[in-house]
Structure formats: C-alpha cells, structure tokens
Structure 1
Amino acid sequence: MKAQKGFTLIELMIVIAIIGILAAIAIPAYSKYQGRAKATAGLAEAKALTTNFEDLQNGGTAPTAANLNAATTQNCAWTITAGVSGSIKCTLQNAPSAISTGTITLNRVDTSGWSCTAANIDAAYMPKGCS
C-alpha cells in the first residue's frame, strides 16, 4: 500500500480559518495605525513651520503659505493666518476615511507660545500633544 501525500480537506480548511481570524484582527489595527501616522505627520509638518512663522512675524512680514514655503504636501494643505495670534492650519490630505476631513491647527498665543487643536479627528487617532 502506498503512503498518501498531501493535506486533507479538513487541514486546509483549518489553515484558511486561522488566516481569516488573523486578518480580521490585523486589518482594523492597521487602519488605526495608518490614521494615527497621518495625523502625527500633519502635526510634525505644522510644527516645523512655527520657526519660520516666528521669524517672519518678528521681522515685520505677514506670514503666508508662500513665504513659509508651505506648499501642499502628501499630508497637508495649508491655511496660514498672520498676526500676533496667528495660526497654522493643516487640512489632512490622502488620509484614511476615519480622519479624511480632519484638521490640525497650531494657534499662536502671544504670552504662552503655540497650542494645538484638532477637529474632525477621533480621540483614537489624535496625535500626542494635541487636543
């Protein structure tokens, strides 16, 4: 009698079930990771513009997206508000659907520096240091 080689149907079904369970856990976790990464990248880009904003402000020039070299990036479309209480607003671009309409705004407060606020971003996706 020859020995049988290969897998039985039951063994193959068990493997497929295990792969399905792992995918059901991994896909939502990856989506959450992707959203947090996009929001954090937007905040990092906005914080990078604060130095140029301060330099222009102190030099008597009104900061704009053009003179801050704030071209639209993969992460942000910019809205700059000049003034003592100016702001740098990042509207997230190419973001996952959970935060596709999200905005991150850095507001300049003359006495205490910069503060971060976010809109249309769920707490699970919120970058650290932003409320």
Structure 2
Amino acid sequence: MKDIRINHAQKGFTLIELMIVVAIIGILAAIAIPQYQDYIARSQMNRVYGEVSALKTAAEENLLRGNTTLTPGVLGYTTSNLISSLDTSSFQTNGDGSGAIIATVGTDASTAITGTELAVSRSAAGAWSCQVTGRPASVYDGSFTPSGCN
C-alpha cells in the first residue's frame, strides 16, 4: 500500500497579520504625507525664488542703460504656473535704481504658500536682497523660505 500524505500547510495570511500590515502602512502614511507636502511647498518657493532671481540680470542691464521703466515684459518674464502676479512698479517711482521685483504665489502652488509674496529688492547702491512677506506667521512656515531670503 502506498503512503499518501496530505500537505496541510498554511496558504495565505491570517487576519491579525493583515491588520498589522495595515496599521504599519497607516503609521507610515501619517508621517510621510505631511513631510511630502512640506517638501512640495519648499521646492515651489525655491522655484519662485529662482524665477524671480533670474530677472535681476535684465533689471541691472536696463538700469545701467538708464531705463527705469521695468515692466515684466521688458525684463523678459514669461508666465509661470506658480506666480499669479509680478510687480516691478517700484523701480519707476524711486528713480534712483532702487526697487523690487515682487512675485505673488498663485493658487496652483501648495496651499501652504498660496498668497505669499517674494520680493527681490535692489538698493540704490546696487545690492540685492530677498524677503518673503504677505502671509501671517501663524500660517506660513519659515522653513519654506529659500536660503538667502529673510
């Protein structure tokens, strides 16, 4: 007579094992999602800073040629999905070469930075600086500010 053995090995996962996996995924998601959203806001602010800073060279060239009517078009600005408005009017009113290029972050950006204003300012002496304004401190996280800005 042949010896017939039936294999009764476990096939699949138990309910408790599945619950543990779901709990671990939930904990990881609770930590990772807010960190990801902060990363997105920081990277978008850095992109806005880069786009506005790129206009400094054109502003300097125009100011050296005596042109204080610096519109976004004169500076070579092309639209951005992160910037809702770009203001350069302070160069015209100051007349001494000082002024600011002010970008307002639009609604296509992360909600944590929507409405924030990033200003790249030029002093009459020709020194450039950067400030982030337009959002209450209770809403805006300072870690979103690009390095080199206040």
TM range (shorter): over 0.9
- Residue 104 of structure 2 corresponds to residue 91 of structure 1: yes
The secondary structure found in structure 1 opposite 2:103 is strand
Moved over 6 A (4+): none
8 Å contact kept, 1:71–1:78: no
Structure-2 residue corresponding to 1:39: 45
More helix by share: 1
Could you tell me how far 1:22 is from its partner in structure 2? 0.3
2:114 to 82, 97, 100: 100
8 Å contact kept, 2:98–2:126: no
Give the count of matched residue pairs: 131
Could you tell me how far 1:127 is from its partner in structure 2? 0.9
RMSD: 1.3
8 Å contact kept, 1:85–1:108: yes
Alignment of structure 1 residues 1-131 onto 2, 5 Å: 2-61=8-67, 62-76=69-83, 77-81=85-89, 82=91, 83=95, 84-93=97-106, 94-111=108-125, 113-119=127-133, 120=135, 121-131=140-150
8 Å contact kept, 2:86–2:103: yes
Could you tell me how far 1:117 is from its partner in structure 2? 0.7
8 Å contact kept, 1:72–1:78: no
The secondary structure found in structure 1 opposite 2:21 is helix
Provide, for residues 7-59 of structure 1, a one-character-per-residue CA deviation record: whole Å limited to 9, x for no partner.
00000000000000000000000010000001111111111000000101111
TM-score, normalised by the number of residues in structure 2: 0.82
Q: Which runs of 5+ in 1 are unaligned?
A: none
Q: Which runs of 5+ in 2 are unaligned?
A: 1-5
The secondary structure found in structure 1 opposite 2:112 is helix
